[in-house]
Structure formats: C-alpha cells, structure tokens
Structure 1
C-alpha cells in the first residue's frame, strides 16, 4: 500500500513538473510577442489520507495531531498576469501602446475582440487594422466640424494623402506703428478728362445719362460704339499698379475677360470708381463726377491713395484698332501720412484673396489721433474693389482705444465659396497691438490670420487620451477620431483566442467602454508598442525547478521500483 501510494504521488509530481515546464516554455517562446501576458501556474495537493485522527488534550494526557499522508499533487490554476509591459518606441504613427488596464477594441467579421497589441497598420482603404488578421480597430468618429462623436463605435479611417481641408479666414491680427508725427490728410487726387458732348455739333455738354454711343469730342468725333472694349491698365494707386479691368459698351457682356458693361456715361463713371478702388463711404469727398461735360475722378485722402491715370492707361479695343478716348490731366495729388500693407486671406474653398489696406492720418487733437483705413481687393467678384473702411482711435500716449467698422466684406458670387464673407480686423489683439507713436516711418503688417489654403493630410499623432490628430500640408491640425479602451472587472477571466486577441467569458465581466486616462484604463502612448511582460530570468528559474522536480520524482519512482523488486524476491 505504501509503495503504491509513493508511486502514484511521484507520477502526479511528474505531471506537475511537465505542466510547469510547458507554461515556462510557452512564456519563453513568447518573450518577443507584442503585448504578450505571461502565464502563471499554481498547484495544490490532490488527496490527503488520514492514517490516524488527532485527539484533544485531557486532564492527564496531552492532545495528538492527526497523521496524514499526501496522495499526490494536481494543477490548481493557470492564469495570465496582465501587468503592463514596457512601451517600446517604434516611430510608426499607426502604432499604439497602453500603459494601464484597458484593451483596444477590434472587429472581425462582425464579432468584437479585445487586444493589447497596438502594432496597427493602414489597409488600402485607410482603415486602421491588425496586420495579421485584418481586424479593424474600432473608435469614435468625427462630424463635419471635426468634433469627436462619443458613444458611436466605428472602424477608424485615416485617409492620409487623400483627405483635404481648407479654412475660411474669419479674423486677421495686425500689428505695427503708425507715424503720429505725419501730416493730416486734407485732399485726394484729382484727374480730369477733356470736355465731352452729347451731340456731334459739340453744343450740349454730356450728362451722366448720356448714352456712350452718343458721346463726342469737341471736333465731333464719336468716342465709343456698341461692342467697344474699354481697358483700364497700367494705372497706379499709391505707387502700386491697379489690376487691369475691362468694360464693354452695351447692355450685356459678350466678350471674354470683360469685367463690366453699360450703356450710359454714368455706367462708365461707376466702372472707373470701382476699378480704381475709390471709396465713397469715407467722408473725404472721393468719387467720380461730371460737370460741364468734364469727368473728374477724385481719390481718397492720403499719399497711399494717390491716383495716377495717364492717357495711355485708358484704351479702346487695344490689340485690334486701339484708340485713346480721353485726354487725362492730373490737377491735384493726394496728401496725408499713410501706411500700406498687403496680406492674403482665404475663402471657404481655400482660394487666396489678396487684400491691401491703406492707413491715413485723419485727425490730431489733444486727446490723441484718429486714423482711417481703406481696404481693397481685386478678388472681390463684383467690379467694386472696395471691401471696407473704418477708423482707429489712439490716446495721447499712442495706445489704441478702439476701432470702428473694422470688418471687410468680400463678395464671392459665382465661385462656389460662401458669400458674402466677413473678415474681422483685430488691431488690439493681446499678441500684437497697433500703436500711433512718432516715428520716421509707418510700418504695419499682418501677424496672424485664422484661415488656410487647401491642405492634404500628411501625418497623424495619437495623444494620451486616445485622440487622433491629423497634420495637414497647410499646417492645420484637426481631430480624426478617438481610440477608446475597454475595461473588464477581471482581466484574467478573458479567453485567449489567439492572434493576441481575447474575448469575454462569464467570469471576466462585460466590457465597459471608456476614454483613455479615465476609470483606470490607462493612457495611450503613440508611436510605440507594448513589450511582453515575460521575465526571462524568472522563467529560467521555473525551468530549473521543473527539471529538479521531475528528476526528484523520477528518483522516487526508480527507488520504489527497486523496493517492489526486493519485496517480490523476498516472497519467492
């Protein structure tokens, strides 16, 4: 009986050593497996045989302990150790590691699984997937405004090189100094034409309502005919050349590249006013007028608004049978301290809109100075290039007190972009204010604007809270989604289904989806993967223990066998 028991217990010991060897060997085999969790094995006694019961103490005898003989060992449990492995940087934007207790959520053929392996890649459809199985990583998508929609799990899609965005400009910050020691603007440019008549006999002065086909020189020569193209090119404003514009004589535009049309002298006068960027809202008397048959173009105050239009700048049918309709003369130049700057803003489609602003000293007083700005843009889709005017007030320390009507309005009809587009001018932003101090020169510039041209998604990063932020070629950063994590009440209760993935069991609890860094889920580390948590030194110790146990139990079996043989010999 004793020898048989010894043989049985030693055989169970051999089995236990084999189990220990198997677990240690599997841990060592997966020492380089991404996010592998080492298995731990425990044993327990199988059966205990009581040879003699214990007794309690009496008045004359002490108590005795029970006499028991163990009948072997059996497997207690094999469970995984879910301590986090060390994050290993990879530099790959699609890779992620978890420093905490959470799990990534993946989907395969409609079934959800959970993994700590964040060695994800992008497939040809730009879905974030596990490279071996193609299981898609689930996360929170974004809406049209790039806001994350929590609570709705969808496959994460990151279309690098495909997604494009632009940003409409809403605000422009301007900074610099205006020379408060300059002269106040008191007059604008004046440019006059020769006298025009409404009859060939040159007896009746032309009036605004006179038909363009009924305009005559003093010698009776007609100025225009229906279909004539009048080009304004080479004229300057504040020393900068004005964009060429064309006007067609007639009720509608019939030729390519023409900006405006009309039938009366008033229509042509409006064309000159708009194309030269003369602002009639400002209270300086600027505009285009007609008196005694003479057309007068009066510019705005300020040297930066000074107009130059020579005879050859207004041409009829240039390139075919060109003629010069007007004899132009400049009778007055603009004065007034001025500062000019140009910058680019963007419409809702990312189209660049070049804009120029001229600041003119309008008033000086004991309280400070007042400046007026004049804004123009040739990108405005109507003929009028004026897009705004307003004033800036400064105290007697040169510090800005405020601005009035500091908004530009762009007409974008027919472009597909949002229209009209309003752009706010910020002259007193915390990161750069305009001052009006005595200086040798004026210098203002745009230091910031919140719009951007068209840009393509080039790269992305994943932050600790799981947010995926895309980097576009136009330097914009936008949310592309968020990676949530799943939490379980009992991680060792998960069932390992291979491929570094798990599924819930009755003892793991149901998955609770949370955002990273909350509820103990841990943080997400981008451009890294989690290493195995196997301790090779410890596993080698387990191998030695398994080998020692196996050898010892084998020795017990061989000794038992010798004793049985000796017993049989004695019987014979």
Structure 2
C-alpha cells in the first residue's frame, strides 16, 4: 500500500506540472522483496526426478523513481528572450559558486542588463574579447540596452575582386587621345571626428597592366593625383599589398573655393590590395573600408548556436557572447533541485559544457519547451495504482477475518 501511495505521489506531481516549462516527468518501478524459502531445490537421482524450490514472497518494494528526460514539443512565444533546446543539452545557470542546469529557457534582463532566469540566477555564456574573438572564459553575460558604440576612424580600405585585363588603357599620344577605362564605386569613410563621408573611388587603367586609384577626384583631370597599382602579365599583383594613400582627399569646398580635405587619423589611410587581381572578364572589384560612426544598441537577438548579437544604429553588428549548454553521460543521474533546476551528482557524470550545435542540440529563439507529461498516460497509471492500492487493502480485511475465526475456535 505504501508503494502504491508513492506511485500516486509521483503521478500527482506529474499532473501538477503538466504546464511547467522544461519539466521532466517521473516514473516509479517496483521489484519483489526477498522470498521466504520453505524448501530448496533437489536434484534428480536414479529413482526420482528433481524438485523445484518452494518460496513464499514477502511483498514488493520500490525499485527506482526515474526522471524521464525525453524532449518535448516547443511552444512558440515570439519573445526574443524565450529559448528552447532542440536536442540534448541544458542551460547553465549560476547562483554564487553553485551551478545548476535547466531546460526552461524563459530568461529576463535585470536592472544591470544581466541575463537571468525567472529566479534571478545568472545564465552562463562564453565571452568575446575586445577584438571580437570567442574565448573559453565562461561567465555571466550582460546586454546593456543603453550601450553606445564610439565612432571608429577609417584607417584601412580593403580591395578585393577583379579588374578587367582587356580594358582599354589610356593613350595620350594617340590622335585623338584615348581615355582609359574607368571603374567607379562609392564608399563611406569616417573621419577622426566621427563624421561619415561618401566618397567616389575610381579605378582607371593608365597603361599595360597598370591602374591608378583616384578618391573623390576626377580621374580625367591632369591635376588629379592617383595611387598607382601594377599587375604582372599573369594577372597577379606586382605592387605592395598595402599602399599608403598620402595624397590629399578633397571632400568639398570652403567659402573661398578652396578644397576641404578629409581629416584622417594619426596613422593615415592604407589601401590593402592583396585580394585584387587583373584577369579577363568584367570588373568586380569591391572596396570595404573599416571605421564606423557612433551607434546606439537598437536590438539584439539570439541565434541557433547561442550567439547573442547586438544591432547598432550605425549598422554594425557585434556579438556579445555565446550561451553555453551542458551535456551529461547519464542524464537520469541528475537530481532535481526545485524551481525547474537540476544538480550534478556523482552518477550523472561531470557536465560537458560547450556551445550549442556541438552535440548539444540547437537553440530555437522565441519558443519554450513544454512539459513532457502525457495526461492520458498519467490518468491511466493513476487508475492502475488506485486499483493496486484498493486490492492490497483487501489483504487487511481478509487477515482480520482469519484472526476473528481463530479467536472463535475456543468457543
């Protein structure tokens, strides 16, 4: 009867948590107790066959109370801080030095921008350094919604792609003079004061395997100063991979008609042409300047691999951190700690913590994992346990009647 009551307790807990996000249901199994041996087994001989042992069972006892860690359906919430795990893995949260694990991904930001669960435990993530490189440092992750990205002065322009080898080269000795092929595109650079400027950049073919780069200057004017780029006959670069642009870059005129020049940083401006080539075909060279204006954090999102990326008003996207997931050799060995949390035990194995998508499942933003409790199964088990309890109560009634008959024998 006590065993059946324990099973009913577990079933009741499952039903109570049918709407608890990330809840893992329990299951009770039984085993028979030691049996009283009335007679042992005997072997056969020449005149008689063997006999089986005679044993009287002494009842049942609890074998296990299992936690079923099977995944459940994901419910769409469309809330950016709600995360579901598609596959194995557990979120890692920390309170002081104590580390817990959970499948419930309803997270929040506290007053300091710290990512926490509903009870205020800090969600753990891998940090990125100032250079944007992922580190192995695991810790709390903060999303500062009031963050301001300072302006970054443009210091380098990277060129990649192709310039057509069969383009017409400039020839000033011909009659009439031949103008060289010009390929133009526009880029945005940031001066040392954090102001953005749109500049026209022209590639002009000035000779056999020779080009000149003009920034915000008319490439057909005699007084324009270009930056020379040379190629070999096979189309590979014949100039330095990095070229210092020392010529002045005009960005407008003042009241007196004089040129206003771009105010660069202390290190000037460098043109990186290591990825530029000259082959037959069309022009496909692209210029990518670094630098950015001041920007404020407008939004953030969490990707399938756990990367938390912030989108700034200047168009820059910065990765703030990568959520960590834990995996265990024996998930059934985890111990429930309440509040949708699990604790590591000596039988669960040490937590194997890493990024999502590395055998730990992927994250689904805007959704939450539902409880894996099946109400139809629970109610069926409840009926079975109730009948088992009811049948065992009959033993007490029958035993009482037998004792009554024994007492009446003296009459």
User: Distance in 2 between the 1:108 and 1:427 partners?
Assistant: 49
Aligned pairs (5 A) from 1:22-421: 22-131=9-118, 133-150=119-136, 152-164=137-149, 168=154, 170-172=157-159, 184=171, 342-347=186-191, 351-357=195-201, 362=206, 372-376=212-216, 388-390=226-228, 408-409=245-246, 417=265, 419-421=267-269
Change (3 A) 1:515 1:553: same
CA drift at 1:134: 0.4
Question: How far apart are residue 449 of structure 1 and its match?
Answer: 4.9
C-alpha separation in 1, matches of 2:102 and 2:285: 53
Shift of 1:31: 1.6
Q: Which ranges of structure 1 fall in alignment gaps of 5 or more residues?
A: 1-13, 187-301, 303-334, 378-384, 436-443
- 2:407 maps to 1:563: no
Structure 1 residues 371 and 140 mapped into 2: Cα distance closer, same or farther (>3 Å)? closer
Map 1:537-548; keep pairs closer than 5 Å.
537-548=376-387
In the TM superposition, residue 549 of structure 1 has moved relative to its aligned partner by: 0.6
Bigger radius of gyration among the two: 1
Contact 1:427 1:433 in 2 (8 A): no
> C-alpha displacement at 1:67, in angstroms?
2.1
Q: Deviations over 1:391-443 (max 9, x none)?
A: 67899xxx98868687635889997945312234699579x9765xxxxxxxx
Correspondence for 1:469: 309
Q: Partners of 1:156 and 1:410 in 2: how far apart?
A: 45
Q: For the Cα contact (< 8 Å) 2:24–2:67, is it kept in 1?
A: yes
CA contact (8 A) 2:76 2:367 kept: yes
Checking the alignment, whether the CA contact within 8 Å between 1:91 and 1:528 is kept in structure 2 is yes
1:550 corresponds to: 389
Q: Distance in 1 between matches of 2:353 and 2:169?
A: 67
3-state SS of the aligned residue for 1:50? strand
- Contact between 1:496 and 1:503, CA under 8 Å: does it hold in 2? yes
Query: Any conservation in 2 of the 1:172–1:450 contact (CA below 8 Å)?
Result: no
Number of residue equivalences: 387
**Cα separation, partners in 2 of 1:410 and 1:21, compared to 1, 3 Å:** farther
In the alignment, what sits opposite 1:271? none
Shift of 1:27: 0.9
Q: 1:525 to 1:549 in 2, by over 3 A?
A: same
Structure 2 residues without counterparts, runs of 5 or longer? 218-222, 250-260
The SS at the match of 1:153 is: strand
Measure the CA separation in 2 of the matches of 1:562 and 1:135.
59
Give the distance between the partners of 1:155 and 1:387, measured in 2 at CA.
Answer: 53
Structure 1 residues 452 and 180, CA gap change in structure 2 (3 angstroms) = same
Output the CA distance in 1 between the equivalents of 2:61 and 2:209: 96
SS in structure 2 opposite 1:60?
A: coil
**What CA RMSD, in Å, does the superposition of the two structures yield over aligned residues?**
4.1
Deviation at 1:46, TM superposition (A): 2.8
Match of 1:522 in 2: 361
